[in-house]
Amino acid sequence: MSLTELITGVEDSEKTLIVHNADDATVESVTERFADRNVTVTTASTADGPPEYAVLSEGDRVLTATSLSEVLPDGGHPRQPEFTSNPYKPILDRLDETMFTSFDPSRMLSASREIEDRAWRAGEGTLYAGFQHYSTLEKQLGTYEQLGTKPELDVTAIAFPDAELSDHDGTFEVYPDRSREIRDVWFVAYDGGGDDDAKCALVAEEREPRRFYGFWTYDPRTVDYIFDYVDDSYLSGRSDRRRMTGC
């Protein structure tokens, strides 16, 4: 199953987000937050339940439950590429494997940054990134050079070589690839550095010019599948694997 097929599989799974014990204003805020997600928002009241929590379900199967503080996090400023400790408003949430629709490149970068930040703070493991084209990767060289300074973090990028990359100090690996999938799909995946709870990934397809449709996940099995697929499809047996040295 390819990355695009994985996206389609998530898209075909209809999900419902049930908001429990919340007032009308809070429900409206949740509905607005998930306006670009392939999920139906409904409400429920439970006399003995905790205040303001949400349950994500698929049919009769409960996928996850979380407090509304996770669904509606505090505001702030987007995190900058330098991975400072400044507060920021996250794009991602724990209600994983639900489709998002029509993200623009700015939101994709913000979502990617959260996964990169998790890898940066852990400082170990493996991070894979596919930014479609060298011209997009070019804009992220500073970020990925910084990520590569973590000696226990293995960082690899894959992209279609549509342009030359600027000279820079090489700290991460890059694979040029000309396949259609690499040109169409934006992905960032972190293997958790040995911790299943830290695994996460973002996968999205550009279906319209600069409009991305996809999902993120914290499910270890899904993240493992993404790593296995990328290894087998794009990294296995490649003789051109190298450290970036200003190509």
Domain residue spans of the chain: 75-235
Q: 45 vs 50, 65, 119, CA distance in Å?
A: 10, 15, 38
Per-residue model confidence as pLDDT tens digits over 178-235: 999 999 999 999 999 999 999 999 999 999 999 999 999 888 999 999 999 999 999 9
Taking the CA atoms of residue 236, residue 242, residue 243 and residue 247 in that order, the dihedral angle to the nearest 10 degrees is -120
Residue type, 240: D
Give residue 245's pLDDT.
35
Give residue 67's pLDDT.
85
* DSSP summary character for residue 72: S
Residue type, 56: L
pTM score, whole prediction: 0.79
CATH topology (fold) of 75-235: Endonuclease; Chain A (3.30.870)
The answer to whether residues 53 and 21 touch, using CB atoms and an 8 Å cutoff, is yes
Residue 149: Cβ within 10 Å count: 13
pLDDT string in tens for the chain (247-residue length): 999 999 998 888 878 999 999 999 999 998 988 888 888 999 999 887 788 998 888 888 888 888 888 777 654 334 444 554 443 445 666 666 678 888 999 999 988 998 999 999 999 999 999 999 999 999 999 999 999 999 999 999 999 999 999 876 678 999 999 999 999 999 999 999 999 999 999 999 999 999 999 999 888 999 999 999 999 999 985 544 333 333 3
As given in the structure block, the two tokens for residue 187 are 């992905």
CA triple 40-45-50, angle to 5 deg:
105
Sign of the alpha-carbon torsion through 246, 122, 117, 194: positive
Residue with tokens 């990134």: 129
CA nearest neighbour of 215 among 80, 78, 39: 39
Residue with tokens 């390819």: 2
The answer to whether residues 64 and 94 touch, using CB atoms and an 8 Å cutoff, is yes
